[in-house]
Structure 1
Amino acid sequence: MEKKDHSLDFEKPLRALEKQLEDLLKTSKESDLDVSKEVRAIEEKIERTKRETYSDLTPWQKVQLSRHPNRPYALDYVERLFEDFQELHGDRAFRDDAALVGGPACFEGESVMVLGQQKGRDTEENLKRNFGCPNPEGYRKALRLMKMAEKFAIPVVALVDTPGAYPGVGAEERHVAEAIAVNIREMAGLRVPVVAIVIGEG
């Protein structure tokens, strides 16, 4: 199956150069020609175009980048930055919320509690992850894990990437606004450091 191109409009010139480089390398491999000079020239042009493109983005283009489907999500960062991550589930009151992942891990030899909203890569996973929109049980799970971090005196690392709380009837029936408010209040009083990193929307 052909990989879908998720290029944004302002990235099209960059993608064209990358395709040109790819075609040149393919031709070189097939014909055994030395195209190193041309490859270097295109690579330099790609770097220059990248700098020019991403250094002068409009506010809307920045929003588009933050919502890009190929951006790394929370579990991608966890996999690459942390060791011994053990995902914990459930809020101990209703059920687990797959839109919010979290658990203890090690970062450069230090124990931390990692939390993050998780989106899906395809329709099935997006439905499972609720498109990264936590329900009240997700916020309560986050609070449970932050309190656990406080109990064990380890810092909290929050990877933020969400369009917002889930706005459904069920979420309102289970008091999503109250769950968010309690989290804000309790986070303000936590006796451990909390580092929030915006990795996408949020």
Structure 2
Amino acid sequence: MATHYLEFEKPIAELEAKIEELGLLAATSGSFETEIDGLKRKADQLRKKTYGALDPWQKTQVARHPQRPHFVDYLDALFTDYVELRGDRQFGDDQAILGGLARFRGQPVVVMGHEKGHDTATRLTHNFGMARPEGYRKAVRLMDLADRFGLPVLTFVDTAGAYPGLGAEERGQAEAIARSTERGLVLKTPMIATVTGEGGSGGAIALAAANRVLMLEHSIYSVISPEGAAGILWRDGARARDAANAMKITGPDLLAMKIVDRVIPEPMGGAHAEPDAAMLSVGDAVWEELQALMPLTPAELRKQRSDRFYAIGRL
């Protein structure tokens, strides 16, 4: 797959294009190892400098990168014996949220997450990760199952928000999101949510009412998208950068406000640059948090969860 470069990565793209060009020339016109090594060092230094100083809008672009690992990738990398469970037992099956039973490093769990898709066909199948009410009702059904059998719940959040279409509203979108959020808050088993890309609005919190909320370094988590906020505040979606800068949507700000509990470092250049390393880091962090929660009783888990959310926004 060809590398997709973001706007602020153009200088890096130019250097890597020169490296590729010299590599092709070397096959016919002699060795260019010294020049190639020099350009590689320069590209690495530029990538390190660029990714060490990303502003919130640039992090938003990285969080939306089309080659960033998606839920299906995390399933393949971190879980075994996965059995998908479909349908909400009321209307249908929503493929924007996938989930089922699996083993995580030998531990039986219920796992679910938003899936955006990697190409045109899969993006349409998964509705770009924007779930309809039946997706959230499927999430409730899976959490009911986890409670019944005493299984931890692991969720992976990556959505711009819940689907705002007419049919979704007619079928009770707001109520379905509220029920899913409530179900997470009253679970008697450990629940860990990880924001892997975008964590947008109620569509995200419906899968993130957890004991521990983690996020990747270049992910975002917000009550509305920067474009949506700019449209409301200034009637101008083009001011999304201004909104992103003002909204405190990145890891350090969210950690300081205790909205998230942990920020997981990404490889240099973002999770899309080294997806296997990024997913391994996520797995290690989730496993560590799960081991800390497993000894707690159902009452302690529910109290910890309620205390965590009640504390947000309080001075």
Q: Which has the higher contact order (CA 8 A, sep 6+)?
A: 1
Q: Percent identity?
A: 48
Q: CA distance change for structure 1 residues 5 and 44 in 2, over 3 Å: closer, same or farther?
A: closer
Other-structure match for 1:30? 28
Once the two structures are superposed, residues 40-64 of structure 1 have per-residue CA deviations (whole angstroms, 9 ceiling, x without a partner) of: 2222212211111111111111111
Other-structure match for 1:71? 68
Distance 2:103 2:155 in 1: 14
Distance 1:107 1:42 in 2: 41
Distance 1:51 1:8 in 2: 15
1:189 shift after superposition = 0.8
Other-structure match for 2:54? 57
Match of 2:19 among 21, 43, 47: 21
Distance 2:190 2:21 in 1: 49
1:5 shift after superposition = 6.1
Q: What is the SS of the residue equivalent to 1:86?
A: strand
**What's the TM-score, normalizing by structure 2?**
0.60
**What's the TM-score, normalizing by structure 1?**
0.91
Q: CA distance change for structure 1 residues 186 and 29 in 2, over 3 Å: closer, same or farther?
A: same
Count of residues in correspondence between the two structures: 199
Q: What is the SS of the residue equivalent to 1:161?
A: strand
Q: Which 5+ residue runs of structure 1 have no aligned equivalent?
A: none
Distance 2:35 2:6 in 1: 26
Distance 2:192 2:174 in 1: 23
Distance 2:78 2:66 in 1: 21
Match of 1:106 among 103, 123, 139: 103
Which amino acid in 1 is paired with 2:185?
A
1:193 and 2:157 equivalent?
A: no
Once the two structures are superposed, residues 148-172 of structure 1 have per-residue CA deviations (whole angstroms, 9 ceiling, x without a partner) of: 1222222111110001111111111
1:4 shift after superposition = 6.4
1:132 shift after superposition = 0.8
Which amino acid in 2 is paired with 1:9?
E
1:95 shift after superposition = 0.4
Other-structure match for 2:42? 45
Match of 1:134 among 131, 134, 137: 131
Distance 1:187 1:113 in 2: 13
Q: What is the SS of the residue equivalent to 1:131?
A: helix
Report the more deviating stretch, 68-77 or 22-31. Answer: 22-31
Q: What is the SS of the residue equivalent to 1:192?
A: coil
Q: Which 5+ residue runs of structure 2 have no aligned equivalent?
A: 200-315
Moved over 4 A (4+): none
Report the more deviating stretch, 20-29 or 94-103. Answer: 20-29
Q: CA distance change for structure 1 residues 26 and 185 in 2, over 3 Å: closer, same or farther?
A: same
Distance 2:104 2:24 in 1: 40
Which amino acid in 1 is paired with 2:157?
V
Once the two structures are superposed, residues 52-87 of structure 1 have per-residue CA deviations (whole angstroms, 9 ceiling, x without a partner) of: 111111111111111122222110111112112121
1:123 shift after superposition = 2.9
Match of 1:8 among 6, 27, 51: 6
Once the two structures are superposed, residues 90-143 of structure 1 have per-residue CA deviations (whole angstroms, 9 ceiling, x without a partner) of: 111110001110111122221221111111223332222111110000001011
Distance 1:83 1:45 in 2: 40
Q: What is the SS of the residue equivalent to 2:198?
A: coil
1:86 and 2:86 equivalent?
A: no
Other-structure match for 2:223? none
Once the two structures are superposed, residues 157-201 of structure 1 have per-residue CA deviations (whole angstroms, 9 ceiling, x without a partner) of: 111000111111111111111111111111111011111111111
Match of 2:170 among 170, 173, 179: 173
Q: CA distance change for structure 1 residues 153 and 32 in 2, over 3 Å: closer, same or farther?
A: farther
Q: What is the SS of the residue equivalent to 1:84?
A: strand
Taking only aligned residues, the RMSD between alpha carbons, in angstroms, comes to: 1.6
